[in-house]
Amino acid sequence: MQPSPDTIAEFRVLTNTFDAEYGRNSGSVVNVVTKSGTNNLHGNVFEFFRNTKLNANPYCFTGVDGVPCDKPQFNQNQFGGTFGGPIKKDETFFFVSYEGRRIRQGIPSSLVFVPTAAERPSATQPYSDFSAETPFPGILGSAFPLQQRPGCAQAISNQSGVTLADGVPYSTDQNGPGIFTDVANNRENIIPLACLDATAVDLLQYVPLPANGGGKLVTTPVQPVRADQFTIKLDHRINNRQNLSFYYYFNDDHQVSPFAVFQAAGANVPGFGSIVNERFQQWNISHTWTISNSTVNEFRFNFNREAQGTFQHPVFTTTVQSSCPPAPTWLTDVTGPVPCFSDGTPENTLGIHPNLGPQHEGLPFIQVSGGFTIGNNGEGELPQVGNSLQWSDTITKVVGRHSLKFGGDIRRQQFDQTLYFDVNGEFFVDGTSTNTTAGDTTFSDYLLGLPGSYGQGSAQVEHVRSTGLYLFAQDSWKIKPNLTLNYGLRWELNTPITDASKHVQTFRPGEVSQVYPCQDTANTDCSSMTPVGLVVPGDPGVPNALTQTYYKAFAPRIGIAWSPGTSGKTSIRAGWGMFYNPIEQLVLEQFSAEPPFGGSTFPFNTLFNQPFLDQSGEFSYPNPFGLDSLSGVNGILNPKRGQPVDWGMFRPNTLFGQFQPNMRSQYSAQYNLTIERQLGNDMKLQVSYVGSQGHRLLATHDINYGNPQTCLDIIDILGDGSCGPYFADSTFFIPAGSVTGPNGLQLPYGPNGPTLIPANTTLANDITLVGLRRYSSPQCDPMTGTGCPGDGIPVFSSIFAQDTIANSAYNSLQGFLEKRFAHGLQFTAAYTWSKSIDQASSFEGILNPIDPKRSRSLSAFDARHRVVLSYYWELPVPKYAGAKGQVLNGWALSGITTFQTGFPIRITTLDDQELMYSFDFELPGEPDLVAPFRTMKPQSNGNYFFDPSLFSEDNTFGRIGNSPRTICCGPHISQTDFAILKTFAISEHKRIDFRAELFNIFNHTQFFNPDGNFSDGPQFGQVNQVRDPRLMQFALKFFF
């Protein structure tokens, strides 16, 4: 909610250790007082104007092909006005406003790496030419039946002389000739069209080819925005002691974004945007009653309503099976008909079928690591209606030197939405497949149809509810004329958020759901496939909110203000307080739609077109989507409580956002010490030490990560290649007679929990492990094989718990110099030197599963140094009359200059050398930092902001690299905004204000943070996006 600035009479920002009157959140409090009508009619009309021709050219990335240096379109009209006055003199007043925005703005994509013309097969080139890359060192394993693709074996034989045979692993192009060696032309990395995945090739039609056929692309599609806002405020004086006020706010936005972004980024090429229709409304009623000269009561009622019609809506909207473009004849002549995520059967058990209809389906989300991303954003659409209601009452009582204030408020939140998370599926082509070319880029893996993993979710209807009760009492005690003590106590009850439909779940080890018992079917054996630990509201000991209600959130506050001496020019203030943060509804909203109310399937080593089929083609993963026994309306799973569920179809279960049973309220302890000195009549200097310690902060951690030691022990027993990265959900059979290695054999589960078989032990029995996680197969006895899923698919994969276990620390030195307006000049200068450290900078940050302390690093938002200068100067021109005065009088200059050090860079890797196979919104692994970190100038270093050779990936399994989670620092900010102002006086009550505003007047190039994912290959360390160049705006206002 952002009221038009012309409707605001005053605002106040409270940032640290504020009174007990305020709470619920530990961040800043913004109090806004809107304008009211008076006994005189008054108002204004305005127009703010921007146009492409007024702006500077954008920064051109080095080596980018195409036309990214063309000036992006940016046309904006912001217009409206205000009007206020009396309805009945001295009693009733009105004030109304309107603001409209019409914008057409080119939105530059990030710098995107795409396949070159040579790397794309075509009518004149029946192969993909990756000869510009290092010869492929990868292996296509015996389990990947490349020879089953029509014509592939013959094409490889003709090209390299290698004959494909069943059950034999093949080198791609190392120590040649490999299967992709073109012997006749002495070239490596030539992949025949017949060997490529036809669907992957067909989808390249959605990936633009740069103008000269190179490999870098920036696009700037236009984003239109239409927004309308109006407000109305009514004030009524009931009598000399009572006043009543009513305020209504309405804002309607329509935006067509070329790149759909919600919590996660969407496609980085045009064609998969979103249409956002949002409407925000607020009703406020306040009643102020002066009971006596020393007592005032203030009552407020607030109702907020927000609605989103459609969050995600791609240009290509159709069913998944119709989302591929028509295949060209040169492709079908070689590969035959091109399938589109279907196995060709009516059941489509190996393909993708959300069963939601074309209005919600579309192309799956396909992420090619270090390159392009196409398809519908996995976050999905989010049609939502939210209502927030608040009742509050406060009483202020002055008793002698004490100003007492106490009161409370009740808040009720209701959010109804349908979550379409990952409904179309999501492919991760990241080089983590056991079959990979291991090329310089992942484009060859993409064209061969070798994703590392696949994920799919399902839609779910949610009815999120929460209630809060807040009480406070405070006193401002004026002990002496120059000494004041403020103290108070606040109590907060934030009931845990719930889903009224009870379509949520959590994980409690050892417990079995009685609400949804397991059903034996032809594919499900409940003796091995029951998801022991997965429970829902209504199961014994599981409340509707999944966690406890915390009643001990007491927040004391204390502050003191002292002005030493009698001059009143110096003041010393200090304060301390506790502040609580509730868990917002967004957390629950994002993590519903889990089994049995939805699917969260993440198979590994799948085929591109048939993601529920393993790359070997020998076994398939269960496909729970569209199960008739669970389907409700439009493909949304809606099992009936008390009836059995075919649990085997959801394996391997990947669970997100599992609320732990004893979560407590997040809180921070804030403190400050401020010394202020008046310098002259219109200037003051303020120096402050400000800090905050966060405790019990919400964070994500995997309670079912892969056991690295078990994987290492299996390698000791069975040899290299038997286990490795991304093997945590695989099946292992160790025959009797095998001898354990020097560390023995760690069994991650069993009837008695984790067990260690000593070193150098000759196994008397076969060992069966279906997954290497603590809860992979809860009923499995590895020593006998009893209770182990017979199809080799574990019951659980990662289980990401949400718990209040993280901490943070912020400390700063702040200086502030202010010259109040006098003699036509005012200015401020602010400097902050600070440091913020945490284990996770949001609830989506995943902690190191084994040692959460290793996640402690600089906060993602840490800004070590920040300087902000602002000023307003009325030019000292002599006052003239007449026409000369209209030209020369009323000129002023204003501006804001900001200097800030960069934000930390998140360093991560996808390689899973730590053997945990655990990734959520973030990854737990980091590479090694092998030399002191240093930055470079992107303009003269091929877009590199830091030297990627400073990092390496140790091939030693079972360890996390030594790089910190975040590293300081990314590109700095240096921006000056400047304005020229002119006032034309028409009469005593009428005037016209003109403004010419230049944002980033010096046109400084300011980069966003570089790519910090080590697995992105040559893109690691490069900046790929830049902030706005110089923009210009004209404004005209008429006041009356």
83 & 192 share domain: no
CB 1032 within 8 A of CB 50: yes
pLDDT-flagged residues of the chain (< 50): 66-67
What pLDDT does 591 receive? 67
Q: Is residue 369, in this structure, part of any structural domain at all? A: no
1018 & 974 share domain: yes
882 & 973 share domain: yes
910 & 1006 share domain: yes
The Cα–Cα gap between 582 and 242 comes to 35
Q: Report which secondary-structure segment, H or E, holds 288.
A: strand 274-292
Count up the domains in the chain and report the number. 3
Q: Is residue 342, in this structure, part of any structural domain at all? A: no
Task: Supply the pTM of this predicted model.
Answer: 0.88
155 & 233 share domain: no
Q: Domain end: 195, 217, 239, which one?
A: 217
58 & 151 share domain: no
What pLDDT does 561 receive? 96
What pLDDT does 142 receive? 65
Q: Is residue 870, in this structure, part of any structural domain at all? A: yes
Region of 370 on the Ramachandran plot (φ > 0 left; ψ -120 to 50 alpha; else beta): left
1029 & 1005 share domain: yes
961 & 875 share domain: yes
99 & 121 share domain: no
239 & 163 share domain: no
What pLDDT does 317 receive? 62
68 & 139 share domain: no
Q: Is residue 1000, in this structure, part of any structural domain at all? A: yes
The Cα–Cα gap between 169 and 163 comes to 12
Whole domain around residue 886: which residue ranges? 857-1039
What pLDDT does 13 receive? 81
Q: Is residue 743, in this structure, part of any structural domain at all? A: no
Instruction: Sort 913 into a burial class: Cβ within 10 Å, 0-12 / 13-18 / 19+.
Output: buried
What pLDDT does 67 receive? 46
Q: Is residue 679, in this structure, part of any structural domain at all? A: no
Strand partners, 49: 77, 1034
Residue found under tokens 């306040």: 286
Q: What is the DSSP string of 211-252?
A: TTS-SEE----EEEEEEEEEEEEEEEE-SSSEEEEEEEEEEE
DSSP secondary-structure letter at 281?
Answer: E
Q: Is residue 367, in this structure, part of any structural domain at all? A: no
What pLDDT does 926 receive? 87
> pLDDT tens-digit profile of 501-523?
898 899 999 999 999 999 998 88
Identity at 649, one-letter amino acid code: M
The pair of three-digit structure tokens given for residue 33, joined into one six-digit string: 């007082």
Residue found under tokens 């045979």: 165
871 & 1014 share domain: yes
Q: Is residue 126, in this structure, part of any structural domain at all? A: yes
What pLDDT does 379 receive? 72
What pLDDT does 923 receive? 67
First to last CA, the chain: 27
Q: Report which secondary-structure segment, H or E, holds 900.
A: strand 891-900
